[in-house]
């Protein structure tokens, strides 16, 4: 047997990541093979590296058949969990996920009915499946935006002992599958037998060798012709709503006994005032896209009808008010009318991103010169790339290292 010495170059081994990659690849292919969704336009590697709440929003409808008190045996094959179970795939992992889900939700203190039932909510089950894959250490849980309160031995047992993992091979032959290391915000590009990464990646090992991990990364090139942040979007919405009401509406969101955090917008938009706001053609044209975005996350036609604006009013103004409130304060509204959860990492950023004409994710091997995208903004002349959306400081003219790994740089424009 040949002996292997690994030079990880900033990476680390966690074989749970191999299981995650395989599971997400099968989920990605299952949804794309059976449903026509926005996932078709998303790169597989980008999907695999997405945040839990983004995974949930993309595939939550197709993960499992919702049935309170359900079981693996009763799942249908037109849902991913049922497809896996009835084809003998991930059987140990699925049982592990069901138990993990229940413990996480109980320890988290979730008060919804059937909160610990894996089969009661397809979206919630997939989001927590993604959390199982995302988090491994106490520090990761502590710094998580979703739930830093679940750090305990029970949760660690589940997130650190995922079925299907294997030991890192330090002795190998030509049949051995080499492990893939992990590094936050980087892509593994293969093993090389030299630190300059010359030649082809090493696939099989037949002699004692030192292997060097090569990494790629990415930078986001932001067109910066919409909202750069969700905070800017929220401020602009409140400014328009304030003008409509002829008073100042702030971002304050006091916690009300029956409703939890409640924005000033929600409190002041009752009794037809939101309908009145959207009856103004200027505000309707500017903001109806946001209502359509909220509507797109609803599963049933009955729920979607509540967001339809006809004859000067929404199907159910209360639903739209509270849905916007949940978006603004990043929380569920758990009493009637119930809303979506917008608390996860990446959710609000995605809403702001929609308003921009383009955000290019440029991938590159670390150390190679990056080719910048060419972008256009009608009526404006491009004036360079900057590390802040205000276009302040030094212009970024080239990237040939990983200084901007997983960071966003912004276009600056001047009026033509």
Per-residue pLDDT tens digits for 12-52: 988 898 999 999 999 999 999 999 999 999 999 899 999 99
Query: Residues 181-210: pLDDT tens digits?
Result: 989 889 999 999 999 999 999 999 999 999
Dist CA 395 CA 398 (whole Å): 9
Which of 126-130, 236-240, 294-298, 397-401 bottoms out in mean pLDDT, i.e. has the lowest? 294-298
Question: Are 119 and 76 spatial neighbours (Cβ–Cβ below 8 Å)?
Answer: no
Q: How far apart are the first and last CA of the chain?
A: 67
Q: Given a cut of 80, is residue 145 above it in pLDDT?
A: no
Query: Residues 278-322: pLDDT tens digits?
Result: 999 999 999 999 999 999 988 889 999 999 999 999 999 999 999
What pTM value is reported for the model? 0.82
Backbone angles phi, psi at 152, to 5 degrees: -160, 165
pLDDT computed for residue 146 by the predictor: 67
Dist CA 406 CA 48 (whole Å): 15
Residue 80, C-beta contacts closer than 8 angstroms, at least 6 positions apart: 26, 27, 30, 31, 59, 62, 63, 64
Closest C-alpha among 297, 272, 288 to residue 240: 288
DSSP conformation class of 178? P
Distances (CA, A) of 112 to 144, 146, 346, 352: 22, 16, 24, 29
Question: Are 151 and 4 spatial neighbours (Cβ–Cβ below 8 Å)?
Answer: no
């Amino acid at each position: 047997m040949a002996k292997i010495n690994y030079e990880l170059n900033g990476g680390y081994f966690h074989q749970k990541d191999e299981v995650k990659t395989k599971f997400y690849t099968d989920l990605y292919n299952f949804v794309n093979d059976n449903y026509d969704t926005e996932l078709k336009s998303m790169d597989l590697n980008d999907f695999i590296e997405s945040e839990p709440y983004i995974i949930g929003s993309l595939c939550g409808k197709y993960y499992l058949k919702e049935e309170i008190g359900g079981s693996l045996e009763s799942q249908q094959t037109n849902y991913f969990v049922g497809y896996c179970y009835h084809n003998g795939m991930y059987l140990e992992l699925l049982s592990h996920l069901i138990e993990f889900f229940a413990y996480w939700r109980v320890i988290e203190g979730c008060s919804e009915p059937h909160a610990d039932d894996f089969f009661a909510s397809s979206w919630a089950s997939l989001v927590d499946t993604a959390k199982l894959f995302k988090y491994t250490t106490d520090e990761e849980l502590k710094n998580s935006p979703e739930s830093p309160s679940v750090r305990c031995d029970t949760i660690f047992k589940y997130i650190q002992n995922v079925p299907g993992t294997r030991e890192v091979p330090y002795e190998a032959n030509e049949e051995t599958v080499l492990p893939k290391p992990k590094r936050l915000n980087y892509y593994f590009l293969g093993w090389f037998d030299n630190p300059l990464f010359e030649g082809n990646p090493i696939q099989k090992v037949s002699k004692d060798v030192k292997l060097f991990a090569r990494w790629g990364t990415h930078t986001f090139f932001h067109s910066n012709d919409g909202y750069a942040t969700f905070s800017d979007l929220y401020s602009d919405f409140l400014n328009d709503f304030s003008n409509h009401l002829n008073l100042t509406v702030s971002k304050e969101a006091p916690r009300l006994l029956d409703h939890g955090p409640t924005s000033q917008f929600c409190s002041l938009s009752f009794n037809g005032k939101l309908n009145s706001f959207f009856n103004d053609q200027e505000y309707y044209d500017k903001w109806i896209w946001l209502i359509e975005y909220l509507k797109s996350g609803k599963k049933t036609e009955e729920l979607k009808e509540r967001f339809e604006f006809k004859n000067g009013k929404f199907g159910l103004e209360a639903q739209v008010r509270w849905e916007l409130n949940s978006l603004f304060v990043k929380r569920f509204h758990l009493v009637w009318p119930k809303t979506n959860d917008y608390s996860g990492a990446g959710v609000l950023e995605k809403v702001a991103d929609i308003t921009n004409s383009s955000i290019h994710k440029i991938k590159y091997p670390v150390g190679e010169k990056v080719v910048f995208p060419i972008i256009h903004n009608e009526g404006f002349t491009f004036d360079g790339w900057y590390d802040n959306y205000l276009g302040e400081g030094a212009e970024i003219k080239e990237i040939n290292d990983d200084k901007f790994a997983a960071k966003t740089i912004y276009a600056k424009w001047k009026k033509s």
